[in-house]
Amino acid sequence: MSTQSLQVMNSDTSSLATLAPTRAGKYLTFYLAGEEYGLEILKVSEIIGLQPITRVPRMPEFVRGVINLRGKVIPITDLRMKFGMGAEDSEDSCIIVVQMRGIQTGIVVDRVSEVVAIAEADIEDAPSFGSGIRTEFLLGIGKAGGRVKLLLDIDKVLATAEIAALQDAQAHAD
């Protein structure tokens, strides 16, 4: 437990550090339940089609399981489940493989959209309520091409996934 929480703390400070200088940059945008989200392109290592996912027992629901990525086993998180939108795979659903702190992990999204460059001036801090998701996952809200994109801090999204998984496992162990 202690090492795990330590990791989370580290991730917090590191993402704060990256957040401080600038949020401007290129973002990969994708759709989740009709809303458009953005993900820092530097964190994305590849996009693959949805494939059979092996369920891992006793994991929280948003952990879909694991897949084989060219010989490597990586965990898959379902963002819809994570954000409480209900699971729903479509033709366009795909897996974005992200690289965070050297760990590869995949997230399931409804549809990948495009890569956009967003300037710092076009990024606003997340409002404290009203966006339908918890704002601590957000780097900010970006405006590009006349649309609003919710810029995700993927480290935080997945770090909380880890905590939840851990708590779940512990609840079972007790």
Partner 1 sequence: MSPLNLDDAATLLMQLEATDTADLAVLRDALTDLAFENRVPLRAQPHVARAARVLGSVVNGTAADVSAAFAEVGQAIEAAMKASEGQVVEVGADPVAHAMSETVGGATAIAVASGATPSLTLALVDEVPPTPVVVATAAVATPALETSAVVPPVAAAPAVARNRQEDRLPDDADRDLLPDFLTESNECITNSEAALLQLEANPSDEEAVNTVFRAFHTVKGTSAFLGLTRIAEFAHEAESLLSRVRDKEIAYTRGCADLSLRSADMLKALLMVVEKALNGDGRMPIPEGFFELLDALAGYDPARDADGVQLAVSSGSDDIFPTLTDGADDAGALSGPVSGIAVARKPEAPVAQSANNASTGNSGSNADATIRVRTDRLDRLIDMVGELVIAQSMIAGDDTFGSGTQHELLRKVTHAGKIVRELQDLSMSMRMVPLRPTFQKLARVVRDTATKAGKTVQFVTDGDEVEIDRTMVDRLGDPLVHMVRNAVDHGVEPPAERTANGKPGLGVVRLHAYHASGNVVVELVDDGRGLHRDKIVKKAIEKGLIETDKGMTDSEVFNLIFAPGFSTAEKITDISGRGVGMDVVRRNLEAIRGRIDITSAPGKGTTFSIRLPLTLAVTDGMLVRVGDERFIIPLTHIHMSFRPEPSMLSTVVGKGEMVHLRGELMPILRLHRLFDVANAVQNPLDGLLMIVGDGAKRTALLVDELLGQQQVVAKTLGDGLGKVAGVSGGAILGDGRVGLILDVNETVALAQSTDCSAPRHEREAA
Residues that bind partner 1 (CB under 8 A): 4, 52, 54-59, 63, 65-68, 70-75, 103-105, 158, 161-162, 165-166, 169, 172-173
- The least CB distance from residue 76 to partner 1, in Å, is 9
**Residue with Cβ nearer partner 1 (23 or 156):** 156
**How long a stretch of residues is the chain?**
174
Q: Within 10 Å of residue 96's Cβ, how many Cβ atoms?
A: 21
Helix axes 154-173, 2-19, angle to 10 degrees: 170
Closest of 19, 29, 34, 33 to residue 140, by C-alpha: 19
- Please, which residue, 110 or 155, has the CB nearer to partner 1? 155
Q: Give me the least distance between CB of 75 and partner 1, in Å please.
A: 4
Do residues 67 and 53 touch, judged by C-beta distance below 8 A?
Answer: yes
Q: How far is the CB of 37 from partner 1 (least distance, A)?
A: 20
**Which tokens hold the place of 59?**
């994991």
Looking at residue 54, what DSSP letter applies? B
Question: Least distance from C-beta 13 to partner 1, angstroms?
Answer: 19
Q: Which is nearer to partner 1, 74 or 85 (CB)?
A: 74
Q: How far is the CB of 103 from partner 1 (least distance, A)?
A: 5
How would you classify the pairing of strands 63-69 and 72-78? antiparallel
Distance CA 47, CA 28 (A): 10
| Nearer of residues 22 and 68 to partner 1, judged by Cβ | 68
Query: Token digits for 105?
Result: 């992990």
Residue among 61, 50, 65, 112 nearest 85 (CA): 61
* Nearer CB in complex with partner 1: 63/96: 63
